[in-house]
Structure 1
Amino acid sequence: MTRSTWRAWQAATVDDLTPHTGGGTACELVGRSRATHHRQTHPKPKVFGPHPKPKHPAELSAAEREQILAVLNSDDYANSSVAQVWACELDEGRYWCSQRTMYRILAAAGQGGERRRQATHPPRAIPELVAEAPNVVWSWDITKLAGPARGIWYHAYVVLDIFSRYALGWRVEAVEDGRLATDLIADIIATQGTPPGWLHADGGAAMTSKPLSSLLADLDITRSHTRPRTSNDNPYSEAQFKTMKYTPDYPARFDSIGHARAWMEEFMTWYNHEHRHSRIGLHTPASVHYGTAHDIRAARQATLDAAWLAHPERFNRRPTPPRLPERVTINDPAKRLPEPETQKA
């Protein structure tokens, strides 16, 4: 006997015994809950949808709401706010409702918006950059370094190649200035011997300054900027700054600008030539930038092959070193969501 059949038998037996023993005794004899039996034999009617809200005794009638809306839309109050309409009507000896209710009536009629024209800004374009080799896309930013006293800050300018993560150049200054940034970019281009295709940065004053804009225009370098309040649009510079500031010997405060420059010199040397970067196959940025990483990876593979041949039981398959980057992106265009198709008229 199934559970549903058993419950049906219990209900029928209780109904048969009730005239002779009473409902409570019948349920006890059968082993059925009295509350369950009552609930199933006297079900409440089902109400579909939300329960109707009882009308409040102070609620305005439809006619009163229409009358108030007509007052608000009258020519006399075409240029008046709700508060002014309420006050003027009160001065005339007429009280319609509270100011808040007037706002509700206007909102229900679709008239609660701003009447003045509001300035609108088109959405910022998403920067989409792709680098398949060094010196294609450079990213740069400025970060603050705490000085010897509260309120004193130094500014570290750092330019990075996003493909190799190589710090192409840097400087520490007491101010954030477009001319200083321009000089830094020009010196890096002279050192590298070639300008990049793209220079990516945020929308700060130094990044959008006229001296830098003129330099980039003269060298035919395309500018790219992040969207406001979107740090993920400049991920490589942000990640490099985090690596720098999470270094164990990073000072809580620098004693002087000379101290900051000396520390940065030591850190950048380590970062470019000793730091094995996890996102570039655990090679140093300098090795990837100047093309020696492929030979180093081949040597790593030879060492792993020798270990594999000596002890194959220690490996599930032939070990290989981490791969080198082939394609580095900022907001990868290949992952862009397709735009919705517009319906043809």
Structure 2
Amino acid sequence: MGYPRERKEAVLKKMLPPCNKPMSEIAKEEGISEGTLYNWRKAARAQGRLMPDGDTSPSGWGSSDKFAAVLETASMNQAGLSAYCRQKGLYPEQLAQWRMACEQANDWNRAQTQQMKAARRTDEQRIKTLERELRHKEKALAETAALLVLRKKAQANLGGPQGRMILPSDRHQAVQLIRQAQASGTTLSRACDTLQISARTCRRWRASKTNVDGRTRVRRQLPANQPSDEEREAIISVCNEPAYQSLPPSQIVPLLADEGRYLASESSFYRVLREADQLHHRGKAKARRVRNKPDSYCATAPNQVWSWDITFLASTVVGRFFRLYLVMDIFSRKIVGWEIHNDESSAHAAELIHKSCLAERITQKGLVLHSDNGSPMKGATMLATLQRLGVVPSFSRPSVSNDNPYSESLFGTMKYSPAYPSKPFTSLEQARQWVHGFVTWYNEQHRHSSLRFVTPGQRHRGEDVAILAARKALYEQARQRRPERWSGDTRNWDSIGPVWLNPDTSEESEIVEFEELAAWQFGQVR
């Protein structure tokens, strides 16, 4: 018994965009075997119909389907092409990329071969440079190994504030370990830094014959309010009784008070148990890890708070990525600086921040620069440049991406845009050309949803106030002409106020936010 034609058409429609359902899902929904569904699709393709494959890729378009779509739209005008893309669930930029891929499919010419040779020569030179650096670092490796052995063997705690008393045995051991480390290739100063003592102290210990501290050891008088030994034993004994052995001091003290017994305060209970090494975390729950939240910053105008980060751009070489350094202003969302390099370095980051400050003509100190906790963000070169420019650094908590939301959102907008290349970048120059076009589009053409759909460039230059006021006046006029079409207020076209980075939700911060918002509205920001 055959299936009706209407049902076949309904099932084939589920294979087409925008549904693009896989064969296995359609088979479960319709109760038809996958073999039958494949035969129906094969017969439809034989009739010349465009049938994308929902199982081949997330978008559902295989190589043959893409080629058929390019042929089908080759003779269409702009309006027809736009209508075709909306029907098929595509973007015109995707069709343009498919057409370009078809044109370049057999264009493996001599220029591309030369590019590969040039890339190979570059890789060979880079390998030679790395080998040379490796030879130079072998000497430093021996010194590092000696310091590691010194740190592992050193059992005494020699560090701390100046003036601590150190036992003679610890002094003698430290002198012997430092001599062994020097014999293995390290210097006296680095060996002493590992043990947290000065080189002068080590020389004095070597010159001394007895290594005994000459200061008088005075027995300190115990405080009058300190519990006696009998009271300490009573506290420990009570805590280890069967009735209290599973309870913390915060519950033991009230229970003893209900029984009419007082031994010591709750803090004394905790202190005595800690000294007896009986105060540790217990239970299935993990011990609390306290991480301080980054400081909150409020941007009431451009060039007050910047955010920057680094993202990877895939290349044609497996395992090799280009690094995109990108800086944005959180008040206007404008990209104020960007660069692409082959590696991550604090020197590249410092150079980018310096160029961005020059481009935005920042002369006053107080600009806040927020970033993650990566090594390029905290490198010595980067921090020195920020100090010289008067920029205040701000860092996220470890492994907390929410502390840097603006940069993460911008990278998502970039990589999920229709114009983002479907294939990796072939060279550093190609990546720079594409990012240059994206930055221009993002700053001057992209209507940002968080800015009432004005461009970041308009917001940065202060043009958003007039634009939004004109939109509001237009909507008010439309409402006056046809009041029956509005059941409530018109669309909100008010300008966005101050922008917060990592805002605090406490009551005090809400009061500060309200005061700064009011000051911003009256043009009297502190």
TM-score, with length taken from structure 2? 0.41
2:441 counterpart SS class? helix
Amino acid at match of 1:199: L
Provide the residue aligned with 1:74 in structure 2.
Answer: none
Is this contact kept in 2: 1:139–1:200, CA < 8 A? yes
Counterparts of 1:80-229 in structure 2, within 5 Å, are 123-194=291-362, 197-229=367-399
Provide the residue aligned with 2:431 in structure 1.
Answer: 260
Which range is displaced more, 259-268 or 308-317? 308-317
Gapped runs of 5+ residues in structure 1?
1-109, 115-119, 339-345
Provide the residue aligned with 1:336 in structure 2.
Answer: 506
Amino acid at match of 2:413: T
> Residues 292-327 of structure 1: CA distance to partner in whole angstroms, max 9, x if unpaired?
001111111222122112211111244244332212
* 1:121/1:310 CA distance change after superposition, 3 Å: closer
Aligned equivalents of 1:183, 1:163: Cα separation in 2: 23
Aligned equivalents of 1:123, 1:306: Cα separation in 2: 53
Higher relative CO (Cα under 8 Å, sequence separation at least 6) belongs to 1
1:246 to 409, 416, 432: 416
Question: How many angstroms does 1:337 deviate by?
Answer: 7.1
Provide the residue aligned with 1:274 in structure 2.
Answer: 445
Aligned equivalents of 1:111, 1:198: Cα separation in 2: 46
Q: Report the RMSD for the aligned CA atoms in angstroms.
A: 2.6
Counterparts of 1:7-46 in structure 2, within 5 Å, are none
2:471 to 300, 304, 307: 300
Aligned equivalents of 2:477, 2:302: Cα separation in 1: 32
2:294 counterpart SS class? coil
Aligned equivalents of 1:293, 1:281: Cα separation in 2: 9
Counterparts of 1:224-235 in structure 2, within 5 Å, are 224-235=394-405
Number of corresponding residues: 226
Question: How many angstroms does 1:287 deviate by?
Answer: 0.5
Larger Rg: 1
> Residues 118-152 of structure 1: CA distance to partner in whole angstroms, max 9, x if unpaired?
xx997344332211111110000000000112111
Counterparts of 1:56-71 in structure 2, within 5 Å, are none
TM-score, with length taken from structure 1? 0.61
Is this contact kept in 2: 1:154–1:174, CA < 8 A? yes
Question: How many angstroms does 1:111 deviate by?
Answer: 6.6
Question: How many angstroms does 1:205 deviate by?
Answer: 1.0
Aligned equivalents of 1:301, 1:228: Cα separation in 2: 43
Amino acid at match of 1:228: P
Gapped runs of 5+ residues in structure 2?
1-276, 282-287, 509-526
Question: How many angstroms does 1:226 deviate by?
Answer: 0.3
Is this contact kept in 2: 1:127–1:233, CA < 8 A? no
2:426 counterpart SS class? coil
Is this contact kept in 1: 2:326–2:338, CA < 8 A? yes
Alignment pair present for 1:309 and 2:480: yes
Aligned equivalents of 1:140, 1:263: Cα separation in 2: 19
